[in-house]
Chains A and B, each alone.
Chain A
Amino acid sequence: MRESPPRPWLPLLLLVLGLLILVFHDAGYLAPVENVLHFVLDPLQRLVSGVTGAAGGLFETVRDVRELRAQVEELQAQVDALTVENVRLREYEAGVQQYRALLNFASEYPAYLGADVIGQGACETFPCGEVVGTEPNPYLRYVTINVGARQGVEVGMPVVGGGAGLVGRVTQVYPRTAQVRLLTDLDSAIAALLQTSRVTGLVVGQPDDTLLMELIPQEENITVGDIVLTSGLGGFVPKGLVIGQVTEVQQMDYALFQTAIVRPAVDFARLEQVLVITAFEPRPPEEPPPEEP
């Protein structure tokens, strides 16, 4: 039996092929091929995710029982306190409804505010997905979720986790899955504001999985612990979604702006379930008023 003859042209062929794939993918010509390949790969990925999840769950069960007992006791105490606060907050809500009516507030995004999005009925309105894969490239921050075009997901849609915390935005959609760019990706940039001072800025991802809020005017006071929310500016993401919390302020006298390090509200390492906001209509850019002759 003879060995196959050497093929010295193979490295060059693969290099050229790889470069062609890069170029054609960037130009968008390979989308039909990628869809077909994803049609084959996605069920396999979901299967592996399910199997590894079940296997991991078995090992965690014993350890979790003890932890769960302690958590139950702690949560019971919290429930008692929250019941009292709930009554108080319902009074506030009634007042807010009246103010909104008075200001003729358009309430264009009624479904995303606070816990209403991730409430029990949310998955009946918006597609809820599970994270079935994380990014294999060490320099990018994406996750794969198991909802796609068939569930009405489109490119650009915001994705949230528990507590209306912003996870990221959909960047690629396949029939049954979608790619979500996380807030911590270096290419991510979200218009934001601070909850207390209403100061606006831009939140960008950092390579160490934190967030940086930049373009904050020097004269503004930023408080450590302040909550960072989406501002809705630009019309890409609804207003009021939780981004994170300020942990450090960086202010230098010679700089035009100050920056703040933000701890994300969502634990991306433990992200399991997400919700895609499909009913959000991006605002078109406002046209400037016509100049008077």
Chain B
Amino acid sequence: MLQSVLLSRVNLWGARPDLMLLVVLAWAMVRNVEEGLLWAFIGGLILDLLSGGPLGAISLALVAVAFLAGRPWGRGAVTAPVLGSPLISLLLLAFLGVVVYHLTLLFILTLMGYAVDWRFALTRVIGPSALLNVSLVPFVWQPLTWLERRTRRERFVL
């Protein structure tokens, strides 16, 4: 709801903060791929209902991001960080996730017959969106990490 009502109005040189994308990305990495996929599917479907585009487009794009982030090598990028820094690994993976999200959206829209300016999208939308959303990842990561710890099911070993 916040994405549709409030954040979609924000426009910084072609970039918009994508709260749902960031939450799905972070949760898939923090928790596991299955929960990330479920939340991506459900959250994406709600956004699709509030969108004028094809139903299922945002949902599929978010599922692709959750699948990418929730894979062992995706989650391992944070636990076994690249370049020795979990933050750099997180930001790199987030950048990749945002790019995958936008490319998937563009592909689906093109496939469903919607007019899409690929050149404008690649040069003026994806790049700024990736930079903006990557810069917001740490602000989403911390609360979700806390939430994951609070909601984690404890495993008892006898």
Contact = CB atoms under 8 A, between A and B. Distances in A.
A98 interface: no
A208 B121 CA distance: 10
B115 A48 contact: no
B56 A22 contact: yes
A22 B55 contact: yes
Nearest to B16: A138
A18 B5 contact: no
Given A207-B120, A207-B121, A34 B52 contact: no
A101 interface: no
Interface residues of A, number: 48
A1 B155 contact: yes
Contact of A138 (B40, B112, B129): B129
B60 A15 contact: yes
A171 B37 contact: no
A19 B60 contact: yes
Nearest to A15: B63
A15 B62 CA distance: 11
Given A11-B33, A37-B49, A186-B116, A139 B105 contact: yes
Interface string B3-29: 111101101001010101000000000
B52 A26 contact: no
A136 interface: yes
Interface string A124-145: 0000000011111111101010
A173 to B, nearest CB: 12
A191 to B, nearest CB: 17
Interface of B: 1-6, 8-9, 11, 14, 16, 18, 20, 33-34, 37-38, 40-41, 45-47, 49-60, 63, 67, 102, 105-106, 108-109, 112, 114-117, 120-121, 124-125, 129, 153-156
23 contacts: A1-B153, A1-B154, A11-B37, A19-B60, A21-B45, A22-B56, A22-B60, A37-B49, A44-B1, A49-B5, A134-B4, A135-B53, A136-B8, A136-B47, A137-B53, A138-B125, A139-B125, A140-B109, A142-B51, A144-B50, A207-B120, A208-B124, A269-B9
